[in-house]
Chain A
Amino acid sequence: MEPAIRAAGMAKRFGAVAALDGLSFQVVAGELYGLVGPDAAGKTTAIRALSGLLDLDAGEARVMGLDPRGSGEVRELLGLLPQQYSLYRDLSVWENLQFFARLYVLPRDVFRRRAERLLAITRLERFVDRRADALSGGMYKKLALAAALLHEPRVLLLDEPTNGVDPVSRRELWALLHEFVQGGMAVLISTPYMDEAERCDRVGLAYRGRLLQEGTPADLLAAFDEEAFEVFGGDRDKVEAVLSGLPEVRAVSPAGSRLRVDLSRGGRERATLALAPLGAELRPVAPSFEDLFLSRLLREAS
């Protein structure tokens, strides 16, 4: 059966830069697929190709088996939330949604029901009369997402939809996405948030226009054979200063009030010795997706 989204060997150059370098993946109906990667991994270019906004140099982009550049049929099936999104800045929140409802020819009662639900979920109900240009960055984003969901598309492409969105709304949007996916929607989402990547059914880790790894978060983490540590005891600033000076330390970041440390192989002994005089010690913890991400990227970069 043809998957809902199919990227096959997608390639695209901009001048000397290969934005996509043979990127392939598939998303089936009822699946939430996360495309994660650093800046310039090709996430945005991939989403633009799948929404028919870009001609590929090679390879194929298909949505429900159709070429997204071709038919008007695709537009009915596809919902898109790009990073740079234009709403009517001089229209209110409600008027913007009305505009999109007309674009998709939604009956009035259907529009009302869906709009009210989306506004409740995005916590924008209190702001229905506010003009779009007076919304905060996060609120503007949520309105754009509501507009993209209004026609309940079968395939949804989201390019970093939660940037600037607060933690409470972020949770609610994810709950909403999971609900849509359970209803059979295929969702492709790009995100720089690693906790969000962990909540996808499958994840592709993209780097320089191709996939480094792909799988369910649980399988990827199970195959990750490096250790992560947290530092117990000691003064956090002093501990961090000492760790930053060690070549085996890949990354140090806060994990709650403690520090989380990613070490390259064989770094544990040395870090343990260096921390002892500060009254601090390393304890192994379960690796997170962020540990895996950092480890893979730093390995690629070196």
Chain B
Amino acid sequence: MNTGQIISGTAHIGLIAFAVFGGAFKSDPLPFEVTSVTAISADEYAALIDAPRAPEAVANVDTPEPPAEGQGLPELTSTSDAAPDLSQPEVTQTPPPDDVPEVVDPVPVPEAEVSDEPPVMQPPQEDIAALVPEVSPRPQPRPAPRVAPEAVAPPEPDVAIDEVERQETVPDAEAAENVEPETEATAPEESTTEIVTEAEQVDPASAAPSRSVRPKTRPAQPQPAEQTQPAEDTRTAARPQPDESAVNDALAEALGQAGGADQGAPSGPPLTAGEKDALRVSVQQCWNVGSLSSEALRTTVVVKVRMGEDAKPVSGSIELLSSSGGSDAAARQAYEAARRAIIRCGANGYDLPKDKYDHWRDIEMTFNPERMRIK
């Protein structure tokens, strides 16, 4: 260790020590307002709360009286009747003179009832809140014909079933210039998250949680249904996409690479995790494994698909790359189910960023049904 380092070290330590202990960071306290607070116990607080309520209750009691102005007498007679009724059985049961004060006690009871009402109102609210988690049974999946990652409540009876929820639109006379295509109201089909067997669905009393629910996947991103709105078309049309590809081509040419359309690594930023997720969620909504054999449900297939620039799968481009876990026949069923999923959910085009076409022109999708077997 040379002298320079020692000097440097000493100087630094000294500086830090000055900063910490020398008051360099201290400053005058900022002015602040002082409010005096009195600490009270929970009982006192309850008393405070009760105190203002008691008159309210009395006021409530008062309100019935005005309409019954002329009939105050029957009420009096009824209370006096109650007192003898109570006293008689007591006297016959236990003759000792101690009973007399007990007889007196019931008489003020009607008065106490008036003041008791507010406290009676409050505790139940707390009790109910505390009891709810214990009493309410575990939310049981309803039996539904469709099992999907997300449970969906039964749609309205007159609503068409579709992958996405859509409001009904009708031609608007006022906005005649901006005519929206007339669409039918749609809603996703009723679904449940797991198969509910009869042995599982009966007897809510024994519905104690036996296992925790699997964490859900991310919520679905907006679906390609937006394309039914003309606004989407104008927006996409406004994008300078042709220019960009031309620039890309020019760049590729300038760099001496083979034409960008068919070969070479795609340029530009890759798809974000969110964009990939949106595609994954779109495909899995149509991946129906319900009609697959048990063996096909053990088969993982890798499927290749070529996408058009309109984000629709190119027909005839879907091919099976590889499979694992099952026979050739099972792989064929699994592949056909995967193909149906890709074509069906891509019929209106997937929600993919058009400016990143080079990145999603060729897609390899692995369909792994392992988690679907457990359901």
Q: Are the chains A and B members of one assembly?
A: no
